[in-house]
Structure 1
Amino acid sequence: MRCSCINCIVPPHILLRLVESDKKELRQIAMRTLLTTTRLRGQRSVRASLTLSNMGAAQRTVFDCRNSTNLSAARVARTEEGPASSDAAINRVFDGLGATRDFYKEVYKRDSIDGRGMRLNGFVHYDREYNNAFWDGSEMVFGDGDGMLFSDFTGSLDVIGHELTHGVTETSAGLVYHRQSGALNESVSDVFGSLVKQWSLNQSAEDADWLIGADIFTPAIAGDALRSLKNPGSAYDNDIFGKDPQPDHMSRYDDLPDTEEGDFGGVHINSGIPNKAFYLVATEIGGYAWEAPGQIWYESLRASSPTTDFRGFAELTFMMADRLYGTGSREQQAVASAWQEVGVRIAPVVARMETPPRARRGNGQTQREEDSLAALSRQVAALAEQVSALSREVNGAKSRRVSARN
């Protein structure tokens, strides 16, 4: 069910656009970045199998690739025990890994990315003029950018938070990187990448910029960021990259091919829909977005299955808001309203369901109730998928009958 994809911060539609540039240098850099990424996909499944052995009390290590693509030859540049580096990129990654680790630990009581103290390894100065940063299942890797369009990819904390959150998703829900579950995978990384930055800056939902990658564009680029959770489709609009294609409503969902060129069904594009939903919830509730909104999203992620789609996740967030804050609470109303505004319908049967009450006695009972809720949530997600599949089958049959009559 899972593809051998590395999770990159720069979506392929931007790099493919650069391949068509009038400038030879930009075309060559974009092509080299795409080719390197494709080659890495063949290695990811092998590297991801090493994750379980990558344990170590969530300690950080940063390596310097020295412009090579051979990670095994990278030298250790900074560790928990060692001093700061004279290289600013190394220090930024070290600090970013720590900020993300501390965010999950302090806010959601999660012990590192996998919940079991996984070591956090970062690799800087990967390749030459490499226009991307990625999580490969075991570690984070950063390119230096080409200096014309993209600057150093270590310069954006939300990018670091985004990529490490792919590891959180991978070791919890395991959302399959295709179509809606894949777009949800990307959206979760955008949401928590933004929350890492907001938490580090002590920003309220109202004060945050809700942008991903605002610090990796060079001054020459007329654009705010790679993506905007506040207003999907508005992050950039220029002759080089074109216009941000993200939709903010299901009526504009882009049903792209489930291929590498189609970004596995548009996972980086359609993520704008759940991104907008989270932004609406956060600003409706107000205050710090990592609190009630983030808690609802985090617990819903933990209760998700690999094939959870937008509707399934929306229903999980509705139920989690009930469990955590009460039936008809402001938080639950905000969740329902947000999904409705982006065109994702919560099934009436779910809206009427009563979730298990919050535990009042003992940790053992708390765990049993959490397990019970998670099982119920997975059943609802599976039921929603079955209903969607049946609907597609019925619509297909109708289309065939119409074609036959014509």
Structure 2
Amino acid sequence: MYERTPRVGSKLTITRHSLACILPPDLLIELARSAEPDQRDALLSTLSIDQGLRLARAEIAARTLTRPITLQPTPTAGTPNRRIYDQAHSSDQTPGTLVRSEGEPPSTDQSVNQAYDNFGYTYALYWDVFHRDSIDGQGMPLEGFVHFGTDYDNAFWDDAGHMFFGDGDGTTLTDTTKGIDVVGHELTHGVTQHEANLMYSGQSGALNESCSDVFGSLVKQYHLGQTAQQADWLIGADIVGPLLAPALRSMKAPGTANHYDHQPATMDGYVQTTTDNGGVHTNSGIPNHAFYLVATAIGGNAWEAAGQIWYDTLVDPRLRPNATFSSFASLTLRSARSRYGATSTQANAVKSAWDAVKVRVR
């Protein structure tokens, strides 16, 4: 379910009312089939909560008229505005108890502090590198809801501007607030929502997921000061339990992150499916791998040239909500040539990467 509304500038906003979770429903179902009873209960509970949230949001979308955005100056640009709430294991999306606001000292609850810090690291990448003031570019508050549900094996971003953190069951996932890249991933869904608003289905949905993995990885690399060669290019390594170790996904080697990882690295393995919105989490391995190839071919810090090219593409008015891998790839090459030159190392790296993953660049 989505709505068409005018947007400031030339781009049309299409609001997607999907649930952008770090773990897809396909994986949760596969895990539940072979799980022990206690773990199966946690996985099935997670699936039930996720499905209920999807249905509720679709119903809200059918009744809601989204209004145009009015741009306002942000006098506090460069400073995040963070608020962390304790949901006390409730699965209610209404904010729980506010436990830490911007500038306040650390809490006694480590999950609160991890969410607060990782929000700050994500804000820092977008502000320091891309001069973007928060998710919407206008200083949007970053609101996190920790301890969501009981043994909830997921973390997700909702279109209202909130991130929800499950504590995990300890076997599938652990405390999801620990993942710098996971937080960067989920908040980037918000950036995408305010820019290209890539529809959460098929190739555009896989691009939506891939952009979140790309910038989630860049948040981690920027905070740790890692070059493209030093980074592990794993997503979720800090939140997985033993069942999904060592990570949820690998941008360097899609399909190898864990026993249940089925991501393809090239179009030869593209998965045609009706589940998970057309395989958005699976097929995102293809553009993920393309970014990894670009970043490592250019070398140095991935958030500089490679990240700038991807960011330029994400905010390009020519990127349509129903973009395909090919149209996105073509825009990345256009962005690279525009910023660095038609025959530059950066442009050549982009063209070679898409060729390697067998996506046609027009």
User: What does the per-residue CA deviation read over 1:322-362, in whole Å, with 9 as the maximum and x for residues that have no partner?
Assistant: 10000111000000000000000112xxxxxxxxxxxxxxx
Deviation string 1:17-48 (CA, Å, 9 cap, x unpaired) is 12212522222211110110111123436499
1:156-199 CA-to-partner distances (Å, cap 9, x unmatched) read 10000000000000000000000000000000000000000000
Query: Residue 84 of structure 2 contacts residue 112 of structure 2 at CA under 8 Å; is this kept in 1?
Result: yes
Using structure 2 for the length normalisation, give the TM-score: 0.89
> Aligned to 2:207, what secondary structure does the other structure show?
helix
Match of 1:225 in 2: 247
Q: Does 1:184 align with 2:199?
A: no
Determine which of 336, 340, 353 is the counterpart of 2:351. 336
Once the two structures are aligned, what percentage of the paired residues are identical?
48
- Conserved in 1, the CA contact under 8 Å of 2:204 and 2:325? yes
Letter of the 1:154 partner, please give it. Answer: T
Task: Determine if contact 1:250/1:343 at 8 Å carries over to the other structure.
Answer: yes
2:267 matches 1:245: no
Residue 72 (structure 1) shift? 2.1
Q: Distance in 2 between matches of 1:280 and 1:330?
A: 13
**Of 211, 215, 220, which residue of structure 1 is paired with 2:234?**
211
What's 1:24 paired with?
37
Segments of structure 2 that go 5 or more residues without pairing to the other structure are 3-15
Match of 2:5 in 1: none
Q: Does 1:98 find its partner at 2:111?
A: no
Measured in 1, the distance between the counterparts of 2:98 and 2:206 equals 34
Please name the residue that 2:197 is paired with.
Answer: 174
How far off its partner does 1:14 sit?
1.5
Q: Aligned AA for 1:87? A: D
Query: Could you tell me which amino acid in structure 1 is paired with residue 220 of structure 2?
Result: K
* Residues 210 and 230, structure 1, Cα contact 8 Å, conserved in 2: yes
- Mapped partners of 1:148, 1:230: distance in 2: 25
Q: Which has the higher contact order (CA 8 A, sep 6+)?
A: 2
**Counterparts of 1:165 and 1:310 in 2: how far apart (Å)?**
19
What's the CA shift for 1:101?
0.8
Tell whether 2:31 aligns with 1:14. no
- What SS does the aligned partner of 2:282 have? coil
* Alpha-carbon distance in structure 2 between the residues aligned to 1:279 and 1:155: 23
1:55-83 CA distance string (max 9 Å, x none)? 98541000000011123250001001422
Partner SS, residue 248 of structure 1: coil
Q: Which amino acid aligns with 1:294?
A: G
Asked if structure 2 preserves the Cα contact closer than 8 Å seen for 1:4 and 1:42, the reply is: no
CA distance in 2, matches of 1:222, 1:108: 33
Aligned length in residues: 336
Q: Which has the higher helix share?
A: 1
User: Does residue 148 of the first structure (1) align with residue 148 of the second (2)?
Assistant: no
2:266 is matched by which residue type in structure 1?
H
User: Cα distance, 1:6 vs. partner?
Assistant: 1.2
Q: Which runs of 5+ in 1 are unaligned?
A: 238-242, 348-406
TM-score by length of 1: 0.80
